[in-house]
Structure 1
Amino acid sequence: MSVIAGYFEKIAATFKGGQATEHSYRPALYELFSALDERISVTNEPKRVAIGAPDFIFMRGDVPVGHCEAKDVGVELKALKGYSVEQKQRYLKGFPNLLYTNGLDFEFYREAELIRSISIGDVLMGLQPKPEAFAELEAQLKDFVAQTPRTITSSKRLAELMAAKAVLIKDVMGRALVADLERNGDTDLTAQYRAFQEHLIHDITAADFADIYAETIAYGLFAARLHDQTLDTFSRQEALELLPKSNPFLRRLFGYIAGPDLDDRMAWIIDDLTKIFLACNLNEIMADFGRLTGQNDPFLHFYETFLAAYNPAKRKARGVWYTPEPVVNFIVRAVDEVLKSEFGLADGLADTSKIRIDFDTGQTDKKGKAITEKRDVHRVQILDPATGTGTFLAEVIKQIGNRVKASAPGHWSSYVETELIPRIHGFELLMASYAMCHMKLDMILTEMGYTPSGEPPRLSVYLTNSLEEGERVEQVLFARWLAEEAREASKIKRDMPIMCVIGNPPYSGESANKGDWIMGLMEAYKKEPGGKEKLKERNPKWINDDYVKFIRFGEHMIEKNGEGILGFITNHGYLDNPPSGVCAGTF
């Protein structure tokens, strides 16, 4: 008896009992799949299925070679309704070798294309076999498990596969998080979610949290693989070791991803993603990408390609259209020149002079008053409050580095640690961009010859909302690493004498950033010159655009310092729109 005939007898007996459910047929399917090839191991994970994973995974050693989604006998595969249709679309994008079956009908998909449909029976009058199709199905199933993952050679295909896996991670994580929250579960995942709510984005939903987390995992693994010199191995554990040690936040995040406590509802997809990176030589792909796009920085610009595949609407909403490098270069050079000509600092951005300030120690006296101490800090403190992937900060480092290395050869590494990192700061709200910024700056410093004297110092780039007040973080709740991030960002907002504010803030029309602190600062822009009468504008709401709020934030930081320079790329509206209080009264 053939394996297909034996399989049909088992499901026919189950069907005849009249009490079968979708899961009742799984043992017969498992036996069928396991008999196809002794080199293949088959896993059925019902716990994973509940939150959006395929029913069966086929592995050859550690490499997944196929996935199967099994529906109930009699379900019409071509007429799935509602969530199942959405699920199928995600699976088709995420799994290049995919099988859909209802126990009788088998649909084989390769690279999202239906390559063969085979039916071995129908349910018109009980289960009726089609024995003439048995041999065809057995041959096709053996071909299905014999597939070898293709080597990835194009940046476009890599972006599509990364995006497909990120969508699956987002979906599975979102469902797992909702399930844990509904039962009031105290898990690592819920702890991180609550920490995000407390310290970063107060109204973040479970779905949005899963979204930014999935994106960060996908691009973080990409960056780690880009650093990888051992092309024949790659795993989430190896990724942790490849990430820059200058970012404890990112390493702690990936410590969870790489560690034994990672939720097994997500672990299998992340492992699938590492296998994608294992199947490609990223250095060659990125070199080709740079040649095709004409971009000097493929690492950053590939993010646009990835996000276009992952979520094109988000790409547009975030304004992920990169600032032309010549514009960034011009603004940084202009700030450097103003420091020389207007402030008498001959070394411009490379100046290392210091001033004495009162610095909050983070402690309080018996009356609850903050305890401060005198500290000497660099006068030329530079902040990009919407740093994104670090384009402006990278240009600052390059311009300072070229000058320092030319005037003092051999002192670059010591200059980086004592005179550069302490005064280069960045704020970013989006976790994936924040992670990329750290990786990019680490790459720039390494390329320019920086060698750490010991444990690399933490780069002063923080995950925070620039438009929220820098408050003292008294308690460390839930995820300690995020609370520490909030605390250090607040110190810069409160205490650091920022002299240069640079960058390309987001444009957002009627902005969603409406916190009490920034809206209080914006009141100064909503009055006529003199500050007494309300602004006489027909449509003053456009003053609430994000870029205007970032201008106000920059002005506030410089005002606290008493002197400084603002160098932003902005929307041109305040130049050619009807006159407004923003341009007439302030700048």
Structure 2
Amino acid sequence: MSQQLINQYLAEIDRLRKFSGLSNEQVIRRAFGRLLESWASSEKLVFLEEYPVETTMKTTVRPDGTVLHDIRVPHGYWEAKDTKDDLDEEIRKKFARGYPQDNIIFENSEIAVLIQNRQEVTRASMTDTAGLLRLVSLFFRYERPEIAEFRKAVEKFKADLPTVLEALRQRIDTAYRENAAFRAEAARFLETCKETINPTLGEADVREMLIQHILTEEIFTHVFNEGDFHHENNIAKELYALEGKFFTGAVKRETLKGLEPYYAAIRANAAQITSHSEKQTFLKVIYENFYKVYDKKKADRLGVVYTPNEIVKFMIEGADWLCEKHFGRNLIDEHVEILDPATGTGTFICELLEYFRGNPRKLAHKYKNELHANEVAILPYYVANLNIEATYAAITGQFAEYPNLCFVDTLDNVEGLGIRAGHQHELFGAMSEENVERVRRQNKRKISVIIGNPPYNANQQNENENNKNREYKRVDELIKSSYIRLSTAQKTKVYDMYARFFRWASDRMHDDGVLAFVTNNSFVNSRTFDGFRKAVAEEFHEIYVVDLKGNARTSGEQRRKEGGNVFDDQIRVGVAISFFVKRKKKHGCVIRYDAVRDYAKSDDKRTFLSATPLSRRTFTIVTPDKNGNWIDLAENDWESFIPVADKRTKTAKTAGQERAIFRLFSLGVVTARDEWVYDHDQDRLAGKVGVTYRYLRIREGPLGGTI
């Protein structure tokens, strides 16, 4: 792969020189930039042009290219010069201006020089294939001391976290047994949580919230230098009150000592980052890594994945255009209430603030009154709160508390459904009086735009995973009366989390409004979602779907056609961005569909989005068939044939209702234990069945009945 990239670069340089007749920096420097960008992508690094770098002289320079790690710490730099320049003299001048000297390539399309740790490591002619390959390989092989320490610290964190968690849980157990003040505070806290987040919460959930709160204090303090945040935030105050009853001073220091290398590595890397937006990205990466080590099952269930900026910007610009097109208003205008129902780390709200930065007066009003967000997990709630408030401060130059972030499970917050009809409901919030008031305030608003990235988790692949989604009674009832009622397919997967969010949002939104989600793309053509497709075509006036494919659960040629995932393979399901426009006085629905090309890589898909906004995109108009199919429509007379068997014939009460050849049918032998009672090897099967039989005999009840 590396040799291939070098060959492609040399071929491109040759073409540029022949066609342009020139060899100056402006004409040919991008070829080397593309070489570095492609190589960086293969190493899961990020390449940015003209990225601002703060020097040791407290000035800012912008190398032609900067390669960054996923935690946004620089890996190395590239500076292009003209072929007529004295390269060594240009290097001297750049260093005099404070250019970094830890890992940087200087080149003038004839000679390339690699400097590492203030020393020239190698130089090569740009036509020397072997020499250039060695130079670029050394550039990418370089590892900053902070990054090396960070990687070691992450591994140590993975190894030490179980021990620290066990110690923390033992401290909490002791506090429950022996500390009356803690026990009383914990009981009060639990009752509030049960009333306000959801009634299924128990003591174990309170323990986990407390543990996450304790473990992440160091991270927040040293990334944003916001030590006060953890003490001033309305939710954090409640958890601090609980923590203060048992976990302070030497006890706290001794328990967390095992994680100090991890915290130290975060502090060292955070100190390298001066840009607020890069601090946001750094914090999100830390958050994702933390959560996946701390609780992998919950990370999967909650969809702990950072949404790429290309997706976020595309969705915001698309929603803005649709609001203007259909309602004559923009997102920033008054009385356009916006809600992110699963905000995670606050990415969509932060990007909306950036989108509004050109109108300070309207921005201040929107931030204070009409920009709403919900989050149900304590750790991302903290990250979102910090990100949103810090983004607003960076844009306006002044700090203001973000008053519309609610700590609440959106799918349990059903009292606001139907608000579009004009009536109001109240739902308590979570954990503090201030949060209660925030949720009540949100539920009284007529939401015009719902935008975000809800969790994708459908159902576990294997019962042994013990990682099922919980039920949401009211939302599931609404799904049953709409998506399932209209479906002729197997029903269970319509309770996928993203389908629940679609159902909740459709009912929560104002009679006129826009719903924009990035989700699993199975609703586009899955038979399970035929009822969903029929329902949304009845409920909405316009639907736009941009299918990004990327389903890793297919195989063979179809898997190759799906291409890479736009989330950089952090998830295995296909992805689609969809916009649903509701207009009260309009009838009928126009469905528009666009899809990324087959075989596209992750980067190609992000470019596909950023290159053309929704307003200028060419869509195919979809005409659903009678079964609710949108794409891959087939013309055939299959349904005119007499079925061999069907459910209606089986359940027919009177003669004449039959429409199938056979009345009775069944699944045959159903063990519900295929893993235990089937095998390719007879001896291995006998062993498995024997183990199962002995297990059941051991568990026999007193009257001989097995459990």
Q: TM-score, normalised by structure 2?
A: 0.47
Deviations 1:452-491 (A, max 9, x none): 4xxx334311110111135577999xxx943542442143
Query: How far, CA to CA, are the matches of 1:206 and 1:265 in structure 2?
Result: 26
Q: Distance in 1 between matches of 2:394 and 2:447?
A: 28
Superimposed CA distance per residue, residues 262-298 of structure 1 (whole angstroms, 9 cap, x where no aligned partner): 46796345663795577457263574899xxx99811
Aligned match of 2:149: 154
Q: Is 1:546 aligned to residue 497 of structure 2? A: yes
- 1:397 maps to 353
Contact 1:500-1:566 within 8 A present in 2 as well: yes
Q: Does 1:217 align with 2:214?
A: yes
Contact 1:428 1:464 in 2 (8 A): yes
Matched, 1:562 2:511: yes
Q: Aligned partners of 2:259 and 2:240: how far apart in 1?
A: 13
Q: Distance in 2 between matches of 1:189 and 1:207?
A: 11
1:339-358 matches, within 5 Å, as 339-345=323-329, 348-352=330-334
Mark the CA change 1:177 to 1:563 in structure 2 (over 3 Å): closer, same or farther: same
Question: Which of 336, 346, 363 is equivalent to 1:380?
Answer: 336
- Aligned: 1:469 with 2:416: no
Aligned-partner residue type, residue 459 of structure 1: P
The AA in structure 1 aligned to 2:368 is I
Q: Is the 8 A contact 1:220 1:435 kept in 2?
A: no
Does the 8 Å contact 2:154/2:262 carry over to 1?
no
Q: Which one-letter code corresponds to 1:485 in the other structure?
A: N
SS at match of 2:448: strand
Encode CA deviations 1:213-262: one digit per residue, 9 max, x unaligned: 3223323430112233xxxxxxxxxx7525485x32224434654x5764
Report the Cα distance in structure 2 between the residues aligned to 1:266 and 1:517, rounded to whole angstroms.
44
Aligned residue in 2 for 1:331: 315
- Calculate percent identity across the aligned residue pairs: 18
Q: From the superposition, tell whether residues 180 and 554 of structure 1 become closer, same or farther in structure 2 (CA, over 3 Å).
A: same
- 1:241 and 2:228 are equivalent in the alignment: yes
2:161/2:294 contact within 8 Å kept: yes
Corresponding residue number in structure 1 for 2:471 = 514
Amino acid at match of 1:514: E
Which residue of structure 2 aligns with residue 321 of structure 1?
305
Equivalences for 1:65-76 in 2 at 5 Å? none
CA contact (8 A) 2:489 2:530 kept: no
Secondary structure class of the residue paired with 1:204: coil
Q: 2:269 aligns with which of 269, 275, 284?
A: 284
* Residue 398 of structure 1: how far off its partner (Å): 0.8
Listed as ranges, the matches of 1:93-242 within 5 Å are: 154-160=149-155, 167-168=162-163, 170-178=165-173, 185=180, 186-228=183-225, 240-242=227-229
Please, which runs of 5 or more residues in structure 1 have no aligned partner?
A: 1-149, 229-238, 353-378, 405-411, 528-533
Shift of 1:200: 1.6
C-alpha spacing 1:448/1:155, structure 2 compared with 1 (3 Å): farther
Separation in structure 2 between the aligned mates of residue 207 and residue 195 of structure 1, nearest angstrom: 14
**Equivalent in the alignment of 1:580:** 530
- Aligned-pair CA distance for 1:305: 2.1
Q: Is the 8 A contact 2:332 2:362 kept in 1?
A: no
Question: Within the alignment, does 1:497 sit opposite 2:494 as a pair?
Answer: no
Task: Name the SS for the 1:580 alignment partner.
Answer: helix
* One-letter amino acid of the structure 1 residue matched with residue 344 of structure 2: G
Cα separation, partners in 2 of 1:252 and 1:217, compared to 1, 3 Å: same
SS of equivalent to 2:411: coil
Confirm whether residue 435 of structure 1 aligns to residue 430 of structure 2: no
Cα 1:542–1:278 change in 2 (3 A) is closer
> 1:499 Cα deviation (Å)?
0.4
Residue 351 of structure 1 aligns with an amino acid whose one-letter code is: D
What is the alpha-carbon distance in structure 1 between the residues aligned to residue 477 and residue 378 of structure 2? 27
Q: Pick closer, same or farther for the CA change 1:279–1:351 going to 2, 3 Å.
A: same
Instruction: Identify if the C-alpha distance between structure 1 residues 223 and 475 changes in structure 2 by more than 3 Å, giving closer, same or farther.
Output: closer
- Give the C-alpha shift of residue 389 in structure 1: 0.7
Match of 1:424 in 2: 371
> Which residue type is aligned with residue 350 of structure 1?
I
Q: Secondary structure at the match of 2:327?
A: coil
Say if 1:318 and 1:467 are closer, same or farther in 2 by CA, change over 3 A.
closer
Cα pair 1:240 1:251 within 8 Å, conserved: no
Q: Distance in 2 between matches of 1:206 and 1:159?
A: 30
SS at 1:586's partner residue?
helix
Indicate the residue corresponding to 1:40 in structure 2.
none
Cα distance in structure 2, aligned partners of 1:213 and 1:338: 42
The Cα RMSD (Å) is: 3.7
C-alpha change, 1:189 and 1:153, in structure 2 (3 Å) is: farther
If asked which structure has higher relative contact order (CA below 8 Å, sep 6+), I would say: 1
Question: Residue 373 of structure 2 contacts residue 405 of structure 2 at CA under 8 Å; is this kept in 1?
Answer: yes
Tell me how many residue pairs correspond in the alignment: 371
Counterparts of 1:474 and 1:279 in 2: how far apart (Å)? 42
- State the alpha-carbon separation in 1 of the partners of residues 281 and 179 from structure 2: 45
Give the equivalent residue in structure 2 for 1:38. none
Post-superposition offset of 1:585:
2.4
CA distance in 2 between partners of 1:187 and 1:240 (Å): 28
Q: Shift of the alpha carbon at 1:582? A: 0.2
Hey, what's the Cα distance between the residues in 1 that align with 2:263 and 2:413? 44
Residues 1:396 and 1:288: Cα distance change in structure 2 (over 3 Å):
closer
Measure, in 1, the Cα distance between the counterparts of 2:221 and 2:156.
17
Q: Distance in 2 between matches of 1:189 and 1:263?
A: 16
CA spacing shift, 1:546–1:275, aligned 2, 3 Å: closer
Structure 2: distance between partners of 1:475 and 1:351: 29
Q: Which amino acid aligns with 2:371?
A: I
Asked if 1:523 corresponds to 2:480, the answer is yes
Pairwise CA distance, 1:557: 1.4
CA 1:441–1:155 in structure 2 vs 1: closer, same or farther (change >3 Å)? Answer: farther
2:340 touches 2:373 (CA, 8 Å); kept in 1? Answer: yes
Residue number in structure 2 paired with 1:485: 435
How far, CA to CA, are the matches of 2:158 and 2:198 in structure 1? 24
User: Structure 1's 496 and 167: CA in aligned 2 closer, same or farther, altered over 3 A?
Assistant: farther
Matched-pair contact (CA < 8 Å) for 1:382–1:502: yes
**C-alpha separation between the residues in 2 aligned to 1:269 and 1:164?**
17
String of CA shifts for 1:377-434, please: whole Å, max 9, x gaps. Answer: xx11110111111111111111011x31xxxxxxx3x654433221111111111011
Q: For 1:252 and 1:273, how far apart are their aligned partners in 2?
A: 26
Q: Provide the C-alpha distance between the structure 2 equivalents of 1:184 and 1:195, rounded to a whole number of angstroms.
A: 20
Tell me the distance in 2 between the aligned counterparts of 1:575 and 1:497: 29
The match for 2:287 is 303
Distance 1:174 1:483 in 2: 28
Distance in 2 of aligned mates of 1:580 and 1:286: 52
Aligned partners of 1:383 and 1:500 also within 8 Å? yes
The CA distance in 2 between the partners of 1:254 and 1:552, in whole Å, is 36
